[in-house]
Structure formats: structure tokens, C-alpha cells
Structure 1
Amino acid sequence: MKSKNTPGAADAPNEHRARLLHAMAHVAATQGFAASSIAAVVAEAGVSKRTFYEHFADKDACFLELYRAASASALRTLRESVQPERPWQDQVEHALGAYLAHLAAGPQLTRMLFVEIHHLGPAGATVRRGVMQRLADYMLETINTQDTVLTPTMAMAAVGGIHELVLQAIERGETAQLERLTASASAVVRLLASAGPVGGAKKTAR
């Protein structure tokens, strides 16, 4: 069964490409990425190997595209949950709650993405860093609307902290309950923001 946060046609306009991404999500989640094969992916997608290679160079490339698409879907949920009329602390808590609920809605896919990406070497690390940077950029855009409350360094530290909280929950088998981390994740952001600028950055007068 495909999870609701598996990337769909909106993330991959080409029908065959979308079917292959869905198939990779299903196969890797049920078999594990290391044990999965292109043969299993194309069988699940109902397409030929030739079609697979028209879209992806290999299994790793397909997985990395799935990671990008699923991460983009989660980030959209985060951005769409922003309520600019509210204080940034409330905005962050509300948006993080929506983000964690989004991840919890597809526990198998979320576990596979958060864990398996570490096994894809330098290419996986590069894609993962890009996703984390976009999350950090979101925090900066949301929080620093008037004053420089959060620095880029602290924003990345917040993302890293939240990421580790999610990984711990996954390891405990609590992926479907990730929304429970909302208060802790929000506290991480508030604490790092209250630490003040580092590295010589100047805080805007309030």
C-alpha cells in the first residue's frame, strides 16, 4: 500500500517516472534498499527495464530522486503551514507539527528515507545536505522577518537536532507518532534562537 506522502504525479509529471518512484518507495520500504533490485522496481511499476533506464541511470539515482521528491513534499507542507500573522514562536511550532504529522503519515517511507540515505555514500550525503539546507533556509525566512533572531549556523544546528529526534523515534519504532515531537522540536529552535548571534554576527536592534 502506498503512503499518502509518497511523491506522486505532482512531484514527477511524467507518468512512467512517477510510477517508478512509487515503485521504488514500495520495494525499498518492504525489502530494504540494499536488497531491492531494478527488476523488482519495474515489476512493481509495470514498466520495462528499458523504460527505467530512460529515466534513471541506476537504482541509486532512482532512490535519490525519490528522496528529493519526498523531501520537497514534506517541505511544502511546512511552508504551507506558516501563519505569518502569529509570533514566530507560534509559527514554528505549528509548522513543525504539520511537518512531523506529514512524516508520520507514511511511517514506512519515512523510516526508509531517513535511514537508507546514509548508505548511498557521497551522492546521498550531498542530496541530504541540500535538503537540510532548505529546511534551515525556511527557518531563517520564517523567524528573521523583522530582527536577526536566528543565525544560519544556529538554523542548521536546529535542523540537525530535529533530524536526530526523528531518527531516535524511528529507531524506537515510533515513526507513526512523530507528531509527539512537536514540543521538543520547537524548544530546540527557541533555545538556539535565544543563544544569540555567533561568529561575529550583529543582532538587529529591537
Structure 2
Amino acid sequence: MPRMKAPSMVTNDTTSELHEHRSRLLQAMAGVSASKGVAAATIADIVREAGVSKRTFYEHFDCKETCFLALYRLTSASALRTLREAVQPDRPWQTQVEHALDAYFAHLAAGPGLVGTLFVEIHHLGSEGLRVRREVMAQFADFVLETVNGGPDSGGVPLSQVLTPTMALAAVGGINELVMLAIERGEVDRLQELTPCASAVVRLLTRADAA
């Protein structure tokens, strides 16, 4: 006689509720960290903002730092998705990069408070923050690498190896510093003005690879 499978204790309603609670906690983390910084934020602040209990918080995260890192990963994934959606595969890679970066900067400028928090606060989370930041930067470097090496050059000729992984990471690091400078100057709303300079960084490092 076949064995009966035990009924799942997690219903669709339960799953939906868990997802909603996690989303509310991440939104609360964004608001609290933007106003107070991660160091000064407390779990009490976060759950009050989210409108949930501390028990609910601990069902999703073991500490406020874990919550912030989840927020960092989520928002970084959203920004990377914006970059990928802006790619125009039939265009020269130089045009693709410029178009994608312009969309990326517009995406960041739409949430100035959150951008400032994420780019700055991640540096205050010790070795785990550094690890996650490196992880995210590697993902962005992979995007640059794929876009440049996978697209045609300005003459329409497909390229096989124009940019190396090291130079792609250097490009992402340079662009990241440009964003940090804009944050320090209070110019997040003008991030799209960085598009020509950021595009030039990629082109110059590509030429450095080819030299």
C-alpha cells in the first residue's frame, strides 16, 4: 500500500503572509537605516516601522545586520536588472554600455535616501559586509564583461575578448567611487550626469586591455 504523503503545514496563505512580512521588514530597514544609520538602528525601531512583532522579525532574520544585507542584495539585484533590461544587443557595445549606465544612474537617482544609505552603510558592517559587497560588485563586473565581449564593436563585428575580468572589476570599482562622490556632495539627483564619464572609464580600460 503506497505511503500517504504528510500534508504540508505551509499553505499558500502562510507563504504569502511570510513574504509580506519579509517585504515590510526590508522596507522598514530601508527607512530606519536611512534616518538613523545601521549602527544606531534597533530591532525595536524596525519592527515598529514594519508594524510586526519582534518574533516575526526573528522568523526572517537573526539580527539587524542580516536584515540590512538582505536589503543590500535585493536593491543591488534590482539595479542589475535595470542594467540588463537596458541592453540593446544589436547595437555596438560602446552604445550598449552608455545606454545601460544611463538607465542605472536614473534608477539610483529615483531613491536618493536609500542609495546614500546602501553605498555608505555597507562599509560599516565588517567582514560580512565586505564579503557581500564584493559579491555584488562581481555580479556587476560580470555584466560589464558580458556586455562588452558579447556585443559587436562600432563596426558591427562580434568580439570575443576585449575586456578581461580584472579590468571589468576595475571599471565597476571606478564607477562605484563616482557614485560615492556624488553622495558625499549631495548630488544623487544628478547621477545621470556621470554617464559620459562612467562610459569613458569602461572604454579606456578596454583599450588598456587591448594594448
- Separation in structure 1 between the aligned mates of residue 27 and residue 42 of structure 2, nearest angstrom: 14
Question: Secondary structure of the residue that 1:14 maps to in structure 2?
Answer: helix
Aligned to 2:118: 113
Alpha-carbon contact 1:151-1:197 (below 8 Å) kept: no
How much is the aligned-residue C-alpha RMSD, in angstroms?
A: 1.1
Aligned AA (1:62): C
Q: Distance in 2 between matches of 1:17 and 1:180?
A: 35
Query: How do residues 32-47 of structure 1 correspond to structure 2 at under 5 angstroms?
Result: 32-47=37-52
Which residue in 2 is equivalent to 1:7? none
For residue 78 of structure 1, what is the aligned residue in structure 2? 83
Q: Deviations over 1:9-67 (max 9, x none)?
A: xxxx8110000000000111111221111001000000000000000000000000000
SS in structure 1 of the partner of residue 90 of structure 2: coil
Inter-partner Cα distance in structure 2 for 1:152 and 1:79? 18
Aligned pairs for 1:1-206 within 5 A: 14-145=19-150, 146-197=159-210
Separation in 2 of the partners of 1:179 and 1:107? 13
Give the structure with higher Rg (CA): 2
* Identity in percent: 67
| Count of residue pairs the alignment pairs up | 186
When structure 1 is superposed on structure 2, of 141-150 and 68-77 the one drifting more is 141-150
Residue 10 of structure 1 aligns with which residue?
A: none
Aligned partner letter, 1:162: I
SS of the residue corresponding to residue 160 of structure 2 reads coil
- List runs of 5+ in structure 1 lacking aligned partners: 1-12, 199-206
* Segments of 4+ moved more than 2 angstroms: none
Q: Secondary structure at the match of 1:158?
A: helix
Instruction: Provide TM-score, normalisation by structure 1.
Output: 0.88
The Cα of 1:163 is off from its aligned counterpart by 0.4
Task: Verify the 8 A CA contact 2:82 2:107 in the aligned structure 1.
Answer: yes
CA deviations over 1:157-177 (Å, ceiling 9, x no partner): 000000000000100010121
How far apart in 2 are the matches of 1:28 and 1:44?
Answer: 11
Contact conserved, 2:38 with 2:65, CA < 8 A, in 1? no
The SS at the match of 1:196 is helix
Structure 1 SS opposite 2:113: helix
Determine helix, strand or coil for the equivalent of 1:195. helix
Tell which deviates more after alignment, 184-193 or 26-35: 26-35
Q: Normalised by the size of structure 2, how large is the TM-score?
A: 0.86
What is the distance in 1 between the residues matched to 2:63 and 2:40?
A: 14
Query: C-alpha distance in 1, partners of 2:198/2:118?
Result: 19
Amino acid at match of 2:190: Q
